[in-house]
Structure 1
């Protein structure tokens, strides 16, 4: 079955090449870039729309930013399809702001779990330090949304060798 984001990206790439035949990039190279941007912006736009519709726009935005920044430094599991990745990410980042964790001990326990996962599974030392510093900021702020977002992202760095891809 063809991934819908990949199919749309291919159509965009073909159209770009038709509109400007002087472009030296191959359709496949344009498709790769288009797929990345379609996936990236669809997650942001749909998640923010859902946050607005559910009255949690601010915390949804914070969850998006927290997830994205930590993922930049920690990497993590990638699903096999871009559409699957977008759907799972949208669901997670739309639900997390609605989960309120009570008690600072519970929030700090999530922060500690995230720290441990980062220390254990992030291989690049610079990225590991950046990930640790990011999570440590939430030790000070004690946001339940950020703690849960960091924890969910940290779970994606565990290597289980189930056919997915890590980056």
Structure 2
């Protein structure tokens, strides 16, 4: 769905501006990211409004996306699958409820995972030079620590899930750090 929409939009753009330096595949790739983001936000917030959890869904989306931009993580191969899983996940996480002590424990686990595995797979999806990777690791842990100022179970669960997407094991169990 998203691939076809991005392809059609890219072809339309190229038709209107044929001499633009960006090729159709480059435009399509960029549009896939834009459409992916728009659909995730729209569907997640729409369900959040219907369930009365819009604020919690927004917190989950913001915390997950911000940490992901800083630390990286695994990407799904299908944009449609990404929208479905992200929408279902942000909706489900908006209902998570546990006490402050558990929030601190979950956040500590997320911080440890981030210290060990971040950044992960950034070279495939960002333009951060590798020399900034140590700073990105510190920024990720700092962001997790910041979430403790306003303890929220959905946000703590969100950062734990995002931290788990950092884990990247090669064959033989060898950890892969970028």
Other-structure match for 2:114: 118
Q: Within 5 Å, give how 1:31-50 maps onto structure 2.
A: 31-50=28-47
Q: Residue 133 of structure 1 corresponds to which residue in structure 2? A: 142
Mean CA deviation greater in 18-27 or 68-77: 18-27
Listed as ranges, the matches of 1:1-167 within 5 Å are: 4-101=1-98, 103-123=99-119, 124-161=133-170
Structure 1 position 161, deviation (Å) = 4.5
Count of residue pairs the alignment pairs up? 160
Moved segments of 4+, more than 3 Å: none
Q: Deviations over 1:41-66 (max 9, x none)?
A: 11111111111111011111111111
Shift of 1:153: 0.6
RMSD: 1.7
Name the CA distance, whole Å, in 2 between partners of 1:161 and 1:32. 27
The CA distance in 2 between the partners of 1:136 and 1:86, in whole Å, is 28
Q: Quick one: distance in 2 between partners of 1:45 and 1:160?
A: 33
TM-score by length of 2: 0.84
Secondary structure of the corresponding residue to residue 111 of structure 2 = helix
Q: For residue 136 of structure 1, give the secondary structure of its aligned residue in structure 2.
A: helix
Cα deviation digits, residues 59-97 of structure 1 (max 9, x gap) = 111111111111111100011111111211111111101
Shift of 1:154: 0.6
1:108: Cα distance to partner? 0.9
User: Where in structure 1 are there 5+ consecutive unaligned residues?
Assistant: none
Match of residue 126 from structure 2: none
Q: How many Å apart are 1:23 and its aligned residue?
A: 2.3
Structure 2 CA distance for aligned equivalents of residues 29 and 104 of structure 1: 46
